[in-house]
Amino acid sequence: MKLEFNFSAQTAEPVHAQIERFLLEQMRTGRLPPHTRFPTTDELAHQWRVGHRCVQQAMDHLVAQGFIERRRKQGTFVKATDRRMVIGLVIGPKLTDEPRYFQRAIFDHLRGDMRQTEVRHWTYRLYDSLSNLGSKEDFRQSHEFQRLTEDCQTGVLKGTIQILMRQDIELAKQTFGLPVARFNPPAPDLKTDVVLDYGDFGRQCVEFLAGKGIRRAVYFRTLTDEPDDLMDLEGIKAANAGKKLALEIKPLARQELECPELEPQWEEPIYRQVLQIIDQWERKKQWPEALMVSDDVVMRPVAMALLRAAGAQLDRLTVITMASECIHHHYGLPVARYEWSLQALVRELLDILQRRMEGGDAKGLPRKLTGHLAVAR
């Protein structure tokens, strides 16, 4: 098979996005009918005189969206026409970025649930890398946003699930008028249908530490000062006041840890910051008995700093981090985990979307999810 593709070097659109757009057009017009077998990635790269990685990235994205499929020992094929309703999975961050464990896990659960739940007869298309587009003047001209816009306006999509979107993209998409279920970060003008109960995290941590007889703890906190993000502090305060615990897990007994944007070098500043805090503890001989960390990925550089500088104090330190059930990192030390169920999160989003697609009202919004404490062994 020979596919005539000529990429343009006169545009800001990446080569892999041009390839993806070209192949989608071939499939939509019938030039690439269902069950057509593609040449290998190497053959296409040679034929089009582009990099192997560009072709691979375009094909990976088309597989993730459900347009093509890879069959073991057979090759890559155009998928047959699907009669199921197509739901747009609109995810703000770029899923291939290394620190995006949480977003990738949500996507995997959504994809798996749609495959297993035949009652809904849904399938999906993925649209990611949208959270940074709002900072560009021409974000409406980006390949991903144009693809999303076209699929909404032409009736391909019957609904959308939005995960961790920015406010400007959210407002732009409201004009499409499709049923939507949202899981977004707390922000004054950003809607969300499901929230994580950070207050329960604070309460359960206090109760757990009190049960161990611990009287002083430090909280490494990466949440914002938005009202919904303050629930953890309210939970800590309420648990201490209600039980009258002799615990210093109050604002005066915790450390603020500002987490920079998750970029390739994001761990280094956190690691250095924690080392400085540990040095202060050592010089003043005022080590806490416990640490709380509000993010399991941030727990990685925190653990590295502890392993380097804590010494004998490490054996006497109880550590708790906020986490998700299906995501596990190696820390090199015992860490208790307050775990969210991403499966429960996904089921709430799918239920809300289904009710809205059927013209009903999803009551009790936003729905609040609580987690549970899994003690380190």
| Domain-wise residue ranges, the chain | 1-81, 82-192, 196-341
Classify the C-alpha dihedral 343-349-352-358 as positive or negative. Answer: negative
Cβ burial, residue 373 (10 Å; 0-12/13-18/19+): middle
d(CA 325, CA 7): 43
Supply the pLDDT for residue 53.
92
For the domain made up of 1-81, the CATH class stated in words is: mainly alpha
Supply the pLDDT for residue 335.
96
Supply the pLDDT for residue 216.
87
d(CA 239, CA 113): 36
Supply the pLDDT for residue 251.
29
CB 170 within 8 A of CB 162: yes
Q: What are phi and psi of 198, to 5 degrees?
A: -65, -25
What letter represents residue 216's amino acid? R
The CATH superfamily of 196-341 is Response regulator (3.40.50.2300)
Low-confidence ranges of the chain (pLDDT < 70): 1, 81-83, 117-120, 131-141, 166-176, 188, 223-229, 242-265, 377
Supply the pLDDT for residue 282.
93
For the domain made up of 82-192, the CATH class stated in words is: alpha beta
Supply the pLDDT for residue 175.
47
Supply the pLDDT for residue 184.
85
Supply the pLDDT for residue 260.
40
pLDDT, tens digit, 9 for 90 and up, residues 302-344: 999 999 998 889 999 999 999 999 999 999 999 999 999 999 9
Alpha carbons within 13 angstroms on the beta-carbon side of residue 322 total: 21
Equal fold, 82-192 vs 196-341: yes
Structure tokens at 228: 């919904």
Supply the pLDDT for residue 95.
87
d(CA 86, CA 129): 20
Q: Where are the alpha helices (DSSP H) in the chain?
A: 15-28, 41-48, 52-65, 101-116, 143-153, 167-173, 198-211, 231-243, 267-284, 299-309, 342-357
d(CA 350, CA 353): 5
